[in-house]
Structure formats: C-alpha cells, structure tokens
Structure 1
Amino acid sequence: MPVLSKPLNFWAKNKPSLLLVGLVAISWGCGPTNEKLPILGQREAVTKMVNGKSVTDSVYQSIPDFRFVSQYGDTVTARTLDNKIYVADFFFTSCPTICPKMKVQLKRVYEKFKDKPDVMLLSHTIDPDHDSVSVLKEFADNLGVTGRQWLFVTGDREKIYDIAQDSYLVTAQSDPSAPGGAVHSGAFILVDKAKHIRGIYDGTTEAGVDQLMKDIDRLLAEYKS
C-alpha cells in the first residue's frame, strides 16, 4: 500500500468537498493485489433507456481536454495521451524545495517503463513565466530524458492551476510567501486509458513511488486481461 507520509490536506488542499478528500484517501487503502485499482474523484449517476428499460450507470470524473506546449515546442492535448496509462505531476524548474526529490523519484519510473509504449509521464510547470520551452528542454536533457515518453509542458498559468486542482485533485497556486513564489503538491497522479484517476502517491518518497510502479504494473495487467 502507498505510504502516507504527508497529511491529506497536503494532497487536496483547498478542495471544498469532503467527498473528494475521502476518495483520495482510498488510494492509500489496502486490499488484495489482484483487485482492480479504485477510480478516484467525483461520480455521477446517469439514467438512460436500454432496450426499453431504465438503466443507471456511474459516470466517473475524468481528465478533460487540455492544450499545453511541450519541451519540443509542439502542442500537447488530452489526445496525445489517448490509449496511454500516464503519471502526471506539477513542478517548476527553479523550485528550491520538493521538486528535486520528485524528479529523482519520477526518473525511476521513467527508467523502469522506458520499454513500455503504453506508459507516459506528463510534468506540468507551474511557473510558465520562467519555464519556457527552451528551459524545459534543457531541464529534460539534464535529467537524461529523451524521446516523447516523458513530456514537460507549459502554458497558461491559470489553466495549469485549474487542471491541477479541479481535475487532478492536487494543489498548485501562487504564493508570494512560499519559497520560489508558488506552492504545489508533491503527488504523482496515476491516470488510466479512460482518463480516470486510479491513484495518488507521495512523489517525494521511495516507498510512495515503489507503490506507484507496482500499481502501474497492475493497470497494465488489467488491460491485458
């Protein structure tokens, strides 16, 4: 099970709904490894007619479309991640606190799944004024990242903040009093091929990322079966 080394408000700070916090907490629950990972976030009951009968299904929260720019200068949208399991996170290149730890840990994920075309990584900068395309490319190069399996993206600041808090259920916001002028979650978010969140992990610890990698393998096995 993922190790919870931070309080829940570290991951879901400023989320108005207690339901969301409760659902995020599921990602730290224990259970048999052969069970499917839970789907996190809000869900809505939708009733429709099927063969003349009323059927109610659950529609789960999913990552909406977005439009950012990668370290290669091209446009990245939700369609770029179609048919991919991916890990999302939020950072900035000049971050003096948790970002270096996060990138060391995410590099472990990158190295483990480099031969798995179904797996991608998506890192969003929360400091687009500084983190230009060229800055992100240099940052990726210094990490030893090549190809398009790990994309570093920039874009409109408010859209980045909005998708972090409204869609990925984590914190990203300006804070002049914080080191570097911004605060963000240290979480890694696991997203499946249907754009559903399947787990949230402490990206600053080896134990949290060990569990993330195990759960990526579980998702890969789920799709194979």
Structure 2
Amino acid sequence: MILDHIKKKESEVNVIANSQFQIRKEFTENTIPDFRFINQFGEEVTQAEFDGRMYVADFFFTTCPTICPAMAGNKIRIQEAFKNNSEVLILSHSIDPRSDSIPKLKSYGEDVGALKGKWHLVTGVREEIYEIAKEYYVTAQEDELAKGSFIHDGSFILVDGERHIRGIYDGTDLGSTEVLINDIKSLLEK
C-alpha cells in the first residue's frame, strides 16, 4: 500500500543527486500535514516547531544494520553545516516505535552527536509515522524478510518553512548530501 502511493506520486518526486536544485511545481501545491511526536528528550514535537524553518526529514531505526549508519554520518554533516543557524533543523522519524523508546533514542542521539534543539529523533504511534512517510513520498514499513525487519529508503527530504517539499536526496550518498547542503544555502539566501 505504501509502495502504491509512492508509485502513484512518482512523477512528483524530485530526487536530486548531482544536479542543480530546482523547485518542482507539484511540491508547491502539497504541504506536510500537522503532526505530533515525542523526541529523544521526552518533549512533544509538532509542526509548530518547524513552521517558518527549513528542515531535513528522514526515517530510520536505531538497530538498522544497513543504510542508517551512513545516513547518520550525512546528517551530522548537515547539522555541522547549519549548527549556528536556527532556521535549519533535522527531523528523524523512528519506524520502530516498539523498540525505539525515548531512552533508546536519547542514547542513540548521544552516540551519533545529535544536538538538542537542532536534530529531533522522534517516535510515536506506528501508523501515524507510516502515514506521514507517505506524505514525504518515502517508503517506511515493517517487513519480516528485510534485514532488521523493516524496509525504508534512505531519502533526505528538504521541507521549506511553508511545509513544501523542495527536494528529495539520497541520504546514503555524500555527494547528494553536499548538494542538499548547497540547496539549503541557496534557499536561505532567497
């Protein structure tokens, strides 16, 4: 069902690797809906925290044996590039809320170097997390045949201060992450 939604929206997805940033018309018409999750510090995180700010969203789980370590390293690069800019945040959604408790997310955040107030590692109701993944045009679901029992892609989704998706990037690729960082800088200049 998630894959069907993504295939249906395939023409709207702007996956960026080593290309110049471009806003897609489809993204200007769609907005990320309201959400309510809990971060690694036990604090409620809602869309209000991100309104008027750009953020990079992604989906992960703390015991991921495949792509998550590379993604975490690239999120550190993003965090470092905008460490002193309160207009750029990171929002990482756990797709394993049964295992990824608040203390586990906090420990993971400390291990990877997530800064409080800059990088939110969130958990919540599984169905709500999977539903919002669809709004970001990404795959996130349980799959007992997959390594780690979950299937998710390694996308970083750039969302502007008005909740519009501005681009989707390969979060496992350093080059794509550098393009994302440059695109954020370009948007900040506008």
The TM-score, its normalising length taken from structure 2, stands at 0.93
Q: SS in structure 2 opposite 1:130?
A: coil
CA contact (8 A) 2:71 2:171 kept: yes
Write the distance in 1 (CA, Å) between the matches of 2:119 and 2:162: 19
* Aligned match of 1:113: 82
Matched, 1:169 2:169: no
CA contact (8 A) 2:40 2:121 kept: yes
* Aligned match of 1:14: 4
Q: SS in structure 1 opposite 2:5?
A: coil
CA contact (8 A) 2:35 2:46 kept: yes
CA contact (8 A) 2:6 2:137 kept: no
Write the distance in 2 (CA, Å) between the matches of 1:87 and 1:99: 15
Choose which of 86, 97, 100 in structure 2 pairs with 1:128: 97
CA contact (8 A) 1:40 1:198 kept: no
Give structure 2 stretches of 5+ with no counterpart.
Answer: none
Structural RMSD (CA): 1.9
CA contact (8 A) 2:18 2:179 kept: no
Matched, 1:38 2:38: no
Following superposition, the deviation at residue 144 of structure 1 comes to 1.9
Following superposition, the deviation at residue 143 of structure 1 comes to 1.3
Report the residue type matching 1:172 in the other structure. A
Change (3 A) 1:146 1:205: same
Q: SS in structure 1 opposite 2:141?
A: strand
Point out the more displaced range, 120-129 or 136-145.
136-145
Higher RCO structure, 1 or 2 (CA under 8 Å, sep 6+): 2
Write the distance in 2 (CA, Å) between the matches of 1:213 and 1:63: 21
Report the residue type matching 2:89 in the other structure. M
Following superposition, the deviation at residue 25 of structure 1 comes to 3.8
Structure ID, larger Rg: 1
In the TM superposition, 1:1-225 aligns within 5 A as 13-15=3-5, 18=8, 20-25=9-14, 27=16, 30-31=19-20, 37-39=22-24, 41=26, 60-165=29-134, 167-222=135-190
Write the distance in 1 (CA, Å) between the matches of 2:5 and 2:25: 14
Q: SS in structure 2 opposite 1:15?
A: helix
Change (3 A) 1:159 1:63: same
Identity across matched positions, percent = 43
CA contact (8 A) 2:91 2:119 kept: yes
CA contact (8 A) 1:41 1:197 kept: no
Report the residue type matching 2:5 in the other structure. K
Give structure 1 stretches of 5+ with no counterpart.
Answer: 1-11, 43-58
Report the residue type matching 1:23 in the other structure. E
Q: Which runs of 4+ in 1 moved over 4 A?
A: 26-31
CA contact (8 A) 1:88 1:122 kept: yes
